[in-house]
Structure 1
Amino acid sequence: MGQSTAGSNWTDLGPRAGAGLAMAVVAGAAIWLGGMVFVSLISVVIGLCIWELTRLLRRDNAAVPMGLAILSGVAVLLAGYQIESGSGLGVWWLVLLIAPLLGFVLITKDRALFLAYSALIMLAALGFLHLSHSQLVIWLVLVVITSDVAGYFAGRLLGGPKFWPRVSPKKTWSGTVAGWVGAAGIGFLFASEGSTIFWMLGSVLAAFAGQMGDIVESAIKRYVGIKDSSNLIPGHGGVLDRFDAMIGAAALVYALSILLAIPVFVAG
């Protein structure tokens, strides 16, 4: 996910569009079907994100990334099943900490980095599991996608000053602001009478969290000297490259919703 300066070539647009459409179809079907179908999709995505993160930080042993990925996916499935069954998550949220804590032990270098980012991934997983019971999941996905698309085209067409060149040299202020504008538009569409400002500001905040999620993942890749988290998705790199913004947005929205005790999140 990124924005480039004006005049940049568009050679990656085709692969990005094709892969993006395929992912949109899969995600849309899972959201529409809901239940354990959606939970299963989230578990696969989270497992792949943990796999890629572990590979970035420990490339000397293929078993460790695979093992942590499986543990993460199973943990999300178990937590999701508890939520879907209506029995409440209870202490089952603790299973989501197994992979981050085990990874902290097994990864001999950059342990704190792994623990922090893997915990963020798991927090985002919880957010999506709870969001699946409302239209908020559609809102969040649309906010992140719209922000990304608006930022991509604005960055390439307008260019201008870079947002954070040392970490993500392709991102521009024009693309960043365009992403906020696009997100505000989504908020406006979801607003009801008297709540327009709330939805628009909330959407911009979610978009900003998504953009920062993108920045954080870019910083990790730059730190370890790798361009993409993997090559699983044509035109997008890895799963973590594609879902870094979703992770940032979902984690922040969930955390704030818990703090504000919004019923749709804390129920179940």
Structure 2
Amino acid sequence: MAEPKPSSANWDDLTVRMASSAAMTVVGAVGVILGGVWFQMLVVFVSAVMIWELWMMIRPHEPTPGMLLAALAASVMSGQLVDGSQWAMLLFLVVPVIGAVQLRTEIKTFFIFALGIQLAGWGLVHFRTDYGFTWLLWLMSVVIVTDIFGYFAGKTFGGPKFWPKISPKKTWSGTIAGWLGAGLVGFLFTMFTAAGWWIIALSMILSFAGQMGDIAESALKRRMGVKDSSTLIPGHGGLFDRFDALLGAALFMLLVASFFDVPGVAF
């Protein structure tokens, strides 16, 4: 019997990965379209699960504190989304501080990632509320297209690794393809919205920010000695594995929106 071509292994996970992606896309799209409390609940749930996954990567044999921290994060985020006042932003420190106090190791790791998860989730909800559906569609499209272009280009062309010590599967071909795909998204938005040509460059920078979110989570997993953040999603691992790039992109745009006046940001 002839042995299968070595390259066929590159595509073994494609069916499961695509099915999981389709299911998540439908759920996410419904939440984004409906907006309001529905999108808030979706973001709070996903953020809380990621807090739990973060804890379990650091302390896999103690699930109970992780679940309690996730529940606390959900409570804090829900209250903050309703309150919206700036002083209440300090409440986002509650979960990182409590979690860090309980840990003997990786204190800074938990603090930084837990805070980043909550801020990114808060930012996404406010982007949807303040800038509208089209704006959030652009952000998510950039992240999704970057992942798709990067995945297929990396599998097809291979080549030199982007950052082998941190993420040995990522290639320069996939990374650059992601930038080009994001630029294409930006170009399409110039055709169908009032966005100016600046959005093409911003889309490519946003793509890189998302890739850095992916790299940051890869570095975390390598540091913790785990393959995936959890096994919740077939073909993808955990929610943290699936939304790491979105976290990076959301934090980047939160920074941009906080310190810069971007023309036409609401399309």
- Say whether the fold is shared (TM-score over 0.5): yes
User: Residue 144 of structure 1 contacts residue 249 of structure 1 at CA under 8 Å; is this kept in 2?
Assistant: yes
Match of 1:151 in 2: 150
Contact 1:131 1:137 in 2 (8 A): yes
Question: Contact 2:221–2:227 at 8 Å: present in 1 too?
Answer: yes
Tell me the distance in 1 between the aligned counterparts of 2:7 and 2:226. Answer: 25
Please give the residue correspondences for 1:1-268 in structure 2 after superposition, counting only pairs within 5 Å.
Answer: 8-82=9-83, 88-133=84-129, 134=132, 135-191=134-190, 195-196=196-197, 198-261=198-261
Q: Which amino acid aligns with 2:212?
A: M
Q: Name the amino acid aligned to 2:246.
A: M
Instruction: In structure 2, give the amino acid aligned to 1:56.
Output: M
Gap runs ≥5 in structure 2: 1-5
Distance 2:121 2:223 in 1: 25
The TM-score with structure 1 as length reference comes to 0.90
Q: CA RMSD in A?
A: 1.9
* CA distance, structure 2, for counterparts of residue 236 and residue 62 of structure 1: 21
Moved more, 11-20 or 95-104: 95-104
TM-score normalised by structure 2 residue count: 0.90
CA contact (8 A) 1:6 1:157 kept: no
**Greater relative contact order: 1 or 2 (C-alpha under 8 angstroms, separation 6 or more)?**
1
Identical-residue share of aligned pairs (%): 42
Q: How many Å separate the matches in 2 of 1:42 and 1:239?
A: 11
Inter-partner Cα distance in structure 2 for 1:39 and 1:31? 9
CA contact (8 A) 1:52 1:230 kept: yes
Relative to 1, partners in 2 of residues 1:7 and 1:101: Cα closer, same or farther, differing over 3 Å? same
Cα distance change of structure 1 residues 118 and 261 upon mapping to structure 2, 3 Å threshold: farther
Number of equivalent positions: 255
Once the two structures are TM-superposed, the CA of residue 39 in structure 1 deviates from its matched residue by 0.2
Cα shift readout 1:188-226 (whole Å, capped 9, x = no counterpart) = 122356721x10111111110110111111111111110
Confirm or deny: 8 A CA contact 2:149 2:174 kept in the other structure. yes
User: Which letter does structure 2 place at the counterpart of 1:57?
Assistant: I
The 4+ residue runs of structure 1 with deviation greater than 4 A are 5-8, 261-265
